Amino acid sequence: MKILFTLALLAINLFFPAMAWAEANLKSPLAYSLREYAVILGIALLGGAAGWVRRVKKGEADASFPALVGELMISAFSGLIAFWLCESFEMSPLITAAAAGMAGHAGGTGIAWAERLGKRYAEKRFGLTGPAPLDDRR
């Protein structure tokens, strides 16, 4: 019994510092400065503007101000998501900035891709399927 108590005490002494270190190094979206967010959002917006100009020249998008604003909002959102993903994987800041710019350029296409990927994962992992087809017979 004394050995078990000693092992438990040793495990607790080793476990709590590791927990404290993990909690101290845990980042939240509120842990970043406005300067960091401004740089990432600026890069994502540049990527989104470049993608919008390319699509306008191809004739795939409207050349109107509301269309540009909508594209920039989607680009900012996808760039921010890419930033948080890169930060969670502890990637270098240059790769994180590049990923945010590429995500901003992809915009809605990247979000739709991630949605399809998540749907396939859920279907495989949990056996989920889409809604049952409607039957016209009564």
This prediction has a pTM of 0.68
- The angle subtended at Cα 46 by Cα 113 and Cα 27, nearest 5°, is 65
Q: Which helix (H) or strand (E) holds 135?
A: none
What amino acid occupies position 103?
Answer: A
Which residues, other chains included, contact 81 with Cβ-Cβ below 8 Å and sequence gap of 6+?
Answer: 103, 111, 114
pLDDT of amino acid 87: 93
Distance, in Å, from the CA atom of 96 to the CA atom of 91, rounded to the nearest integer, reads 6
The phi, psi pair for 136, rounded to 5°, reads -80, -15
Residue 74 tokens read as 């989607």
pLDDT in tens, the chain (138 residues): 777 767 666 667 776 665 555 566 677 888 899 999 999 999 999 999 999 999 999 998 888 999 999 999 999 999 999 999 999 999 999 999 999 999 999 988 888 888 888 888 888 888 777 666 666 555
pLDDT of amino acid 27: 79
CA atoms within 13 A on the CB side of 99: 16
pLDDT of amino acid 30: 85
Cβ atoms of residues 46 and 40 within 8 Å? no
